[in-house]
A and B are shown apart, each in its own frame.
Chain A
Amino acid sequence: MQLIIWEVEALLFAFAAVFIIQLLDGTIHTRGLLLDKDGTVSAVRVQMLLATIAAAYEYVSQLMKNPAQFPQMPTDWLTLFGGSQAIYLGRKLYSTWFRKKA
């Protein structure tokens, strides 16, 4: 049993390493991740990225307190994350439809 755990851990670390290395050396494209269509930095995308990182960090920190069971994600965090996504989608909808028609 211990062998399969080590094996899967090693594979997961290898996958994570490949992902991080390719992200850093540019193999995985991140061009335009935070940019708007006109090439400027988009505040909506930045806030969504920060909300994503914050929610993921909160989830992992809750998990580390008791790794034997999944953490109960607080409703406040879900609201924050959902609100951030709603802002992003609202902005995207506006820039795709309404601003084009105007």
Chain B
Amino acid sequence: MQAHPYMTSLQYLEIIVGYLVCGIVAVFGIVLVWRVASDGSLADLLDDPDSGKASTSRFQLVIFTFVVALSFFLVVVSNVKLRQSGGVVTDTGMPDVPGGVLALLGISASSYLVSRGITKSGNGNGSTFEAKTEVKENTNEPPPAGRI
């Protein structure tokens, strides 16, 4: 029994599209890694915009986001390898994320959010007020001679 000619064409098309997707992902990834590595855009990844120093709540959010994202990739790859080796895979689609992991991420993200809220509300009554007072005091000074 011979294979259907259209089937072979579709298989070729599938392989070509697969390599095309690989190429696009590779180019996109290399450019992204190169730019992140060269322009220092991760410099303020952990910085608290208000205080200017590194934020612990932001740090733990970054850690958990990385860990859960990498574990998601690991679970997907493990399922693919299991399927290729003929092993038993319980779920056929995307892996289910259990409630415990969602709770972990939720605690982490809400902690960061509350921390930012506290800082913002504190600045609204504290340092921002002082900063505004300072600006007002500065406006009482006569303007520079060259700008009249």
Contacts and interface: CB of A to CB of B under 8 A. Distances in A.
Interface of A: 1, 3-5, 7-9, 11-12, 14-15, 18-19, 22, 27-35, 37, 45, 48-49, 52-53, 55-56, 59-60, 63, 67-75, 78, 81-82, 85, 88-89, 92-93, 96-97, 100
Interface in B28-67: 29, 33, 36-37, 40, 42-47, 51, 53-57, 59-60, 63-64, 66-67
A32 B67 contact: no
Contacts of A3: 18-19, 22
B78 A68 contact: yes
A1 B80 contact: yes
Nearest to B59: A33
7 contacts: A8-B29, A18-B36, A29-B46, A37-B51, A63-B75, A70-B98, A85-B57
Q: Which 3 A-B pairs have the closest CB atoms?
A: A32-B53, A73-B100, A96-B122
Contacts of B121: 96-97
B25 interface: yes
Contact of A48 (B44, B53, B56, B101): B56
Contacts of B53: 29, 31-33, 35
B101 A28 contact: no
A45 B46 contact: no
